[in-house]
Amino acid sequence: MSTTQVIVLNGGSSSGKSGIVRCLQSVLPDPWLAFGVDTLVDAMPPSLRDAGADGIAFSPDGEVAVGEQFRTLDAAWADGIAAMARAGARIVVDDVFLGGPASQQRWRQALDGLRVLWVGVRCDPAVAAAREIARGDRPSGMAAAQAEAVHRGVAYDLEIDTTHTEPLDCARAIAARV
């Protein structure tokens, strides 16, 4: 019997989270909803990406900075995900813990009382940087900047490494723990 209610995947840009999520939706027997940090960013007004907007800024070297407005909406978003899970939907969330353990703590508070599987998605920084070139739709440098930083101080139930393992195999390893 599946008892996990929320799966949280944390990993840097181009570490392979999205492919794993799609495979998870395919291999898990029940229907799981998949939401990611991209879902939230796409839901925000474009003006929050403007310079000096206190929203979210992607610098040319791959750094990502978030401001107060972003954090407020991000917190509301996490509360919304938690409410969906409490209403009975199984949910996979992928995120990039730019704040490391503080990011995890925010999710812990929002998901309080729910059964959560915490998964770290690692990838060798050089390989992630190469995949960033291959996908061609991300600012150059994000993959390398985030590959290790997002995991520092974060605690997981399971860690997977996509450097030499296909997304489907990673998904199966996660599904075995759900």
Which residues are catalytic, by number?
Answer: 38
Nearer to a copy of itself, 46 or 113 (CB): 46
Least gap, CB of 91 to a copy of itself (angstroms): 9
Nearest to 119 by CA among 35, 21, 13, 27: 21
Site for a copy of itself contains 168 (CB under 8 A): yes
Nearer to a copy of itself, 154 or 178 (CB): 178
Give residue 62's region: left, alpha or beta (phi > 0; psi -120 to 50): left
Site for a copy of itself contains 138 (CB under 8 A): no
Task: Determine which residue in the list 61, 101, 102, 135 makes contact with a copy of itself, applying CB under 8 A.
Answer: 135
- For 12, phi then psi, to 5°, come to -70, 170
Task: Determine which residue in the list 6, 56, 73, 145 makes contact with a copy of itself, applying CB under 8 A.
Answer: 73
